[in-house]
Amino acid sequence: MINSILRKLFPKKQVAFRATIELTPEYEKQSGLDQKLYKSYQLKPNNEYCFVEKGEVVSYEDLEKEIAETIQKYLSKRVNECLDDKPIKDVKVIGGNERCIEIIFTALLKCVGDAVLSAIIHEAIKHIARKLLREKLGRYGNFFDIDVITISPSIVSDSHEKRGSFFYYLLFSNLFLMGIIFGLLWILFHFIKW
């Protein structure tokens, strides 16, 4: 009984994030880069990229796989150190773009009805994801622009009720505030002499 009430009051919120990774123009300016073989600094499927300083040649697909594995394995671990739940639910790779690698991942978070707290959690996940990707891709040099954004917050509900949990949150918070106001008015009129 109590668990069902808590689930209605505090549902889980599923949030989708998109990580976009692009090569910077500095990639093309590497000394010793064979311009004929590696002529474009845009990430494209079925291409290989040479990182002269590190002496590595990496394919687009290997970079994409490495980025997805980093988010899947290490992001949940780092976020779980900060939060009580295991919020990272799934990592999906979107098909190749003509200039970047895009990774979509979702997080399932407890929703406490506080928009500020929710925004802080979203920003924390984005910050941790950026930092992890910079650490992982930093081994090739400073040739990647990394951006992580929130793309679709939505409420995941277990039941198909007409009234959502936000309704009950507003109802209880308003009743609580009305109780405080009436309590203060009662104290004001009974204990303060005019």
CATH assignment of the domain containing 7: 3.30.70
pLDDT at 86 over 70: no
Q: What's the chain's length in residues?
A: 194
| Residue 131 pLDDT grade (very low, low, confident, very high; cuts 50, 70, 90) | very high
pLDDT at 17 over 50: yes
Q: In what order do the strands lie in the sheet with 88-93?
A: 88-93, 101-110, 12-23, 144-156
Across 157-174, average pLDDT: 70
- Rounded to the nearest integer, the mean pLDDT of the chain is 75
Q: Are residues 170 and 154 in the same domain?
A: no
Structural domain count, the chain: 2
Per-residue confidence (pLDDT) for residue 180, from 0 to 100: 94
CA distance 67 to 132: 9
71 close to 19: Cβ distance less than 8 angstroms: yes
Q: Are residues 141 and 173 in the same domain?
A: no
Per-residue confidence (pLDDT) for residue 67, from 0 to 100: 87
Per-residue confidence (pLDDT) for residue 178, from 0 to 100: 94
Q: Are residues 32 and 67 in the same domain?
A: yes
Q: Are residues 24 and 97 in the same domain?
A: yes
Q: Are residues 132 and 175 in the same domain?
A: no
pLDDT at 157 over 50: no
pTM: 0.65
Q: Are residues 143 and 186 in the same domain?
A: no
Q: Are residues 128 and 193 in the same domain?
A: no
Per-residue confidence (pLDDT) for residue 156, from 0 to 100: 45
CA distances from 143 to 42, 94, 101 (A): 11, 22, 14
* Residue 10: CB atoms within 10 Å: 15
Per-residue confidence (pLDDT) for residue 116, from 0 to 100: 58
The DSSP letter of residue 74 is: I
Per-residue confidence (pLDDT) for residue 140, from 0 to 100: 84
More confident residue, 138 or 13: 138
| Residue 159 pLDDT grade (very low, low, confident, very high; cuts 50, 70, 90) | very low
More confident residue, 101 or 30: 101
CA distance 162 to 92: 31
Q: Are residues 87 and 177 in the same domain?
A: no
Per-residue confidence (pLDDT) for residue 12, from 0 to 100: 63
Per-residue confidence (pLDDT) for residue 160, from 0 to 100: 44
Q: Identify which of 45, 55, 43, 74 has the alpha carbon closest to the alpha carbon of residue 144.
A: 43
- The set of residues, in sequence order, having a beta carbon less than 8 Å from that of 117 and lying 6+ positions away, is none
116 close to 122: Cβ distance less than 8 angstroms: no
Q: Are residues 132 and 188 in the same domain?
A: no
**Can you give the residue range of the structural domain that contains 7?**
2-159
163 close to 31: Cβ distance less than 8 angstroms: no
Per-residue confidence (pLDDT) for residue 39, from 0 to 100: 53
Q: Are residues 63 and 96 in the same domain?
A: yes
Q: Are residues 24 and 112 in the same domain?
A: yes
Q: Identify which of 43, 27, 24 has the alpha carbon closest to the alpha carbon of residue 35.
A: 27
